[in-house]
């Protein structure tokens, strides 16, 4: 039973008020908007000026040649199996290096093969060859050369005619990557998440008492009274609330009115098993004495202020 009460108490202490978090984010909406704009601007700038655009050219070949006759379902099944084999052949070192030699490219096999993709569209006997390059003209040239070298390699391996060309590559007019719009949207979202996360973490780590309601909520005690705390005037600077030479606030009769509130609360008796909010006779006496002293000081300041005005 005691363990259950302890778990309930710990659960209450660690409870997160979603309404308070929502209110916190709403009151700091300008910071979230600033994070949104900053993230979008950073992502747009980085994408636009620091990422090299890539252009993609593609061609399509049919694995059967013009002289190939398809007389049965078995021929179609064999063609489907050969498509996977031809996909592997397209990226072999012999095919890629022959393209590099033909076009006189200043790149290695590893560099070029990373920018080449060969796929087999679903339920088809075709190969789609795609090549990416910062130059749209060079992308089209490499793609067409690779298609031709692949056809020659297939014909040599299969001892048959070259596969048919369905589509030759043309010079692309639009870049394939990066996607500036998508990156800008992602950057804006990241900015919002970072700012909101920072605000929430700071809120959860802040355990200071700010209002009378916080005293009741977090300490479990009732506020008996709230009275003004009068800040002094620095005689050197002549402004309310300025610190003196010793770094402390000065309290004088000519000081301004309420700038901060102090609260008196019932004392808390707290141990590992119980948490009570009671006030003994001695505590009541101390509270009364404190209130009496505050009232006396306030009366003296009022008298001195009135006397000063009368002398003037």
Full set of structural domains in the chain with CATH: 2-50+179-205 (no CATH), 55-167 (3.30.70.1130), 212-311 (no CATH)
DSSP-based three-state secondary structure for 95? helix
For position 229, what pLDDT does the model report?
A: 58
Neighbouring residues of 134: CB distance < 8 A, sequence distance ≥ 6 = 52, 53, 54, 55
Dist. CA 253–CA 136, nearest whole Å: 82
Low-confidence ranges of the chain (pLDDT < 50): 1-3, 6, 8-14, 70-76, 233-261, 267-279
- How many other CB atoms are found less than 10 A from the CB of residue 99? 23
pLDDT tens-digit profile of 156-168? 888 878 888 899 9
Angle, helices 29-50 vs 18-27, to 10°: value is 70
DSSP-based three-state secondary structure for 142? helix
- How many other CB atoms are found less than 10 A from the CB of residue 293? 10
Q: Which of the 8 DSSP states describes residue 218?
A: I
For position 7, what pLDDT does the model report?
A: 52
DSSP-based three-state secondary structure for 83? helix
Dist. CA 46–CA 98, nearest whole Å: 36
Judge whether 162 and 155 are in contact, CB under 8 Å. Answer: yes
DSSP-based three-state secondary structure for 230? strand
Dist. CA 275–CA 271, nearest whole Å: 6
Dist. CA 196–CA 243, nearest whole Å: 35
Q: What's the gap between Cα 258 and its chain centre?
A: 42
For position 105, what pLDDT does the model report?
A: 92
Q: Give the residue among 65, 49, 26 at the shortest CA–CA distance from 151.
A: 65
| Structure-block tokens of residue 23 | 């209110």
* Predicted TM-score of the model (pTM): 0.58
């Amino acid at each position: 039973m005691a363990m259950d009460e302890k778990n309930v108490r710990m659960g209450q202490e660690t409870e997160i008020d979603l309404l308070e978090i929502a209110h916190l984010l709403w009151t700091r909406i300008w910071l979230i908007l600033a994070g949104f704009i900053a993230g979008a601007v950073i992502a747009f700038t980085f994408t636009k000026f620091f990422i090299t655009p890539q252009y993609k050219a593609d061609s399509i070949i049919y694995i059967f040649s013009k002289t190939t006759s398809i007389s049965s379902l078995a021929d179609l099944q064999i063609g489907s199996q050969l498509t996977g084999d031809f996909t592997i052949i397209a990226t072999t070192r012999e095919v890629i290096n022959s393209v590099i030699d033909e076009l006189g490219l200043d790149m290695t096999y590893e560099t070029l093969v990373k920018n080449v993709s060969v796929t087999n569209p679903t339920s088809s006997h075709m190969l789609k060859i795609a090549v990416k390059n910062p130059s749209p003209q060079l992308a089209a040239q490499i793609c067409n050369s690779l298609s031709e070298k692949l056809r020659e390699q297939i014909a040599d391996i299969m001892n048959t005619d070259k596969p048919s060309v369905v589509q030759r590559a043309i010079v692309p007019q639009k870049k394939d990557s990066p996607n500036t719009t998508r990156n800008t949207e992602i950057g804006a979202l990241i900015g919002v998440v970072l700012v909101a996360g920072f605000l929430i973490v700071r809120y959860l780590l802040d355990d200071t008492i700010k209002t009378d309601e916080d005293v009741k909520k977090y300490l479990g005690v009732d506020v008996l009274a709230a009275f003004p705390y009068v800040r002094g005037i620095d005689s050197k600077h002549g402004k309310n609330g300025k610190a003196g030479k010793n770094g402390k606030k000065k309290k004088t009769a000519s000081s301004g009115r309420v700038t901060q509130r102090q609260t008196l609360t019932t004392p808390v008796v707290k141990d590992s098993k119980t948490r009570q909010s009671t006030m003994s006779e001695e505590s009541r006496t101390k509270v009364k004495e404190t209130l009496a002293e505050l009232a006396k000081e306030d009366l003296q300041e009022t008298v001195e202020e009135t006397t000063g005005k009368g002398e003037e």
